[in-house]
Chains A and B, each alone.
Chain A
Amino acid sequence: MTKSNRKTVNAGFVLFFLPVFLWLFLLVVLPHLELLRLSFSGSGRAGDTGFTLKNYAAFFKEPIYWLTFVRTAMYSILVTFLVIAIALPVAFYITKLARVKTVGFLMVMLMVPFWVSELIRVYGWIILLRESGVLNKLFVSLGLFKEPIELLYNDATMIMGLVYTSMLFMIVPVIGVMEDLDDSLIEAAYDLGAGRLAIWRTIIIPHCMPGIVSGGIIVFMLVLGSYLTPNLMGGKNSLWFTEQIYNQIILYFNWNQGAAFGFLLLVLSSLIIWVLLKLTRQSLKEVVK
């Protein structure tokens, strides 16, 4: 390579490197360092500055904070497992059972609803389920209900809403890995007398594990960080941890407390994702492909 050629190569490298570097440092790295710094500083009011642990102390002292945190984590794990339980048979039907001609159509039907804004999907559930909603009107007029029942604003409905809004992120990666599953493996197991459960347990699920893990990470992260669904479908007692962050920052204007909560949520999500990757021996790089 001649000298002048080398120079143009470097110019090309800088052209690609500089914008990416600026993006990642100005919009990802530095903001999170600032979040960490603020979470360890006082509010600045009335001489309250400098390094402090009180924002984190407040989290452990007030049961409402850490209880919300634990509940949010537990419910996010529950939702992730429910989503796996729904996604596996749906993906199985589409890849292994549906008529080949209909597969493309089914895929489009699966995906289109998820392009619609989360807010509109939640709104749809609200007008279906609320006391004056469509289902209540329908059931009362059919005589199934004596009087309208409030179906919204409880944990079960909120969980259903979270499952609904995050399902696709499990179904698509699972379909991806299930397509590669060789049918003859299932046939062979069947010929050798394996039952359906055994086939699922020893062939299908192990084969789908990479897809389940990548879907699980995305679903868990989305559910943990969701705000609209718990806020609009959950009841007074279904507080989500993102709502605590919102309250601190927007309502109480206590940014330092909000930063501490934000950082705790970040640590929790990174930790659980890390454990999942370690348990299944995968790397983040493969998972987000």
Chain B
Amino acid sequence: MIRSLQNPKPYTNAFKAFIIAYFVFLFAPLVVTMVLAFNDSMFPSLPWKGFTLDWFFGNGPEKYGIFNDATNLRSIGVSFRVAVAVMVLSTILGTCAAFLFEHENFRFKNALYFLMIAPLVIPGVILGISILMFANTIGLAIENLFGVYVKFLGPGFWLVVLGQSSFISTIVALVVIARLRKFDRTLEEAAYNLGANRFQVLWFITLRYLRPAIIGGAAMAFLMSFENFNTTIFLTGSQATLPINLYLQVRDGSTPVINAISFLLIVGTSIIAVFNLSKGNKAVP
């Protein structure tokens, strides 16, 4: 049954077979996607026609690799800029929230805390449409009142950043709160006694202590923003982020360029994820 008990051979073997099957199930689609990025074929499928790097570096006439594919490169750029902005904004908001809920006391604290975790149980699609509609209403009101069109309230870069941050900040907050709970507040008192002011204490003591959690939360925020689809689809303007651009290509027929992009993304996210896990942060996105 467990390690310390004697288990009959068939039982252990059956369990092992189940786990192996599980990991095959887990990795099959990813491994196949990655391998087919190097297949010298016009379609992401078998048979294997030989090894090629054309889907990365190819420059026509038949195969345009990812590094020569202007549309996909542009959408990677858009996603990158969105992800950096979301990372900065949600790290600030999440860290403020962590301090607010762990170190301060005020009326309606529980109600506000409930509001903060609500975005985790609201489907991303609904966050997307409600922010779209709210921004649109505000934009219209401003236009009617002052006769100015506020560009960032229309679908586009800033709306995507705000929409994604609305729930990613919560995740950063939970990561930071987890570490802040273990913080020994006598360290702060010691610093006060030695003459530090509140902001020095915050900067030199508390934030130093929280650094691993803040970095981990920021990495998580970056990855979640980079791969977000459900919220983004309603908020994006003419400049599509990578997941949306890939979605349109997958839906309307695909070439192995998508495999090449996937290969780069899988390798990239794995490096960030393993780095983050090795720092001891909770791994659930």
Give B27's nearest chain A residue, CB to CB.
A113
Q: How distant is B158 from chain A, measured CB to nearest CB, in Å?
A: 12
Contact assessment for B116 and A123 in the assembled complex, using a CB-CB cutoff below 8 Å: no
Tell whether A24 pairs with B229 under 8 Å between CB atoms, given A121-B30, A288-B120. no
Interface residue A74 (Cβ < 8 Å from any Cβ of B): no
Q: How many residues of A contact B (CB 8 A)?
A: 95
Separation of A285 and B170 alpha carbons in the complex (Å): 13
List, in ascending order, chain B residues with CB within 8 A of A225's CB: 123-126, 230
List, in ascending order, chain A residues with CB within 8 A of B125's CB: 225, 227, 242, 245-246, 262, 265
Give A256's nearest chain B residue, CB to CB.
B133
Separation of A72 and B31 alpha carbons in the complex (Å): 30
Q: How distant is A28 from chain B, measured CB to nearest CB, in Å?
A: 6
Separation of A89 and B29 alpha carbons in the complex (Å): 22
Separation of A196 and B15 alpha carbons in the complex (Å): 13
Interface residue A252 (Cβ < 8 Å from any Cβ of B): no
Contact assessment for A134 and B234 in the assembled complex, using a CB-CB cutoff below 8 Å: no
Q: How distant is A42 from chain B, measured CB to nearest CB, in Å?
A: 15
Interface residue A157 (Cβ < 8 Å from any Cβ of B): no
Q: How large is the interface on B (under 10, 10 to 19, 20 to 34, 35 or more residues)?
A: 35 or more
Q: How distant is B36 from chain A, measured CB to nearest CB, in Å?
A: 7
Contact assessment for B104 and A17 in the assembled complex, using a CB-CB cutoff below 8 Å: yes
Question: Please, what's the 1-or-0 string for B114-141, where 1 marks a CB less than 8 Å from any CB in chain A?
Answer: 1111111111111101111110010000
Separation of A279 and B118 alpha carbons in the complex (Å): 20
Give A19's nearest chain B residue, CB to CB.
B96
Contact assessment for B284 and A128 in the assembled complex, using a CB-CB cutoff below 8 Å: no
Q: How distant is B19 from chain A, measured CB to nearest CB, in Å?
A: 5
Give B31's nearest chain A residue, CB to CB.
A124
Give B79's nearest chain A residue, CB to CB.
A117
Interface residue B207 (Cβ < 8 Å from any Cβ of A): no
List, in ascending order, chain B residues with CB within 8 A of A12's CB: 198, 202
Contact assessment for B277 and A132 in the assembled complex, using a CB-CB cutoff below 8 Å: no
Residues of chain B whose beta carbon lies under 8 Å from any beta carbon of chain A: 1-5, 12, 15, 18-19, 22-23, 25-30, 32-33, 36, 43-47, 92-93, 96-97, 99-100, 104, 106, 112-127, 129-134, 137, 162-163, 165-166, 169, 174, 178, 197-198, 202, 223, 226-227, 229-230, 233-234, 243, 246-247, 250-251, 254, 258-259, 262, 265-266, 269-270, 272-274, 277, 283-285
CB pairs A–B below 8 angstroms (13 shown): A12-B198, A21-B112, A30-B134, A93-B19, A112-B270, A121-B30, A141-B46, A183-B3, A196-B1, A218-B121, A227-B230, A228-B230, A284-B114
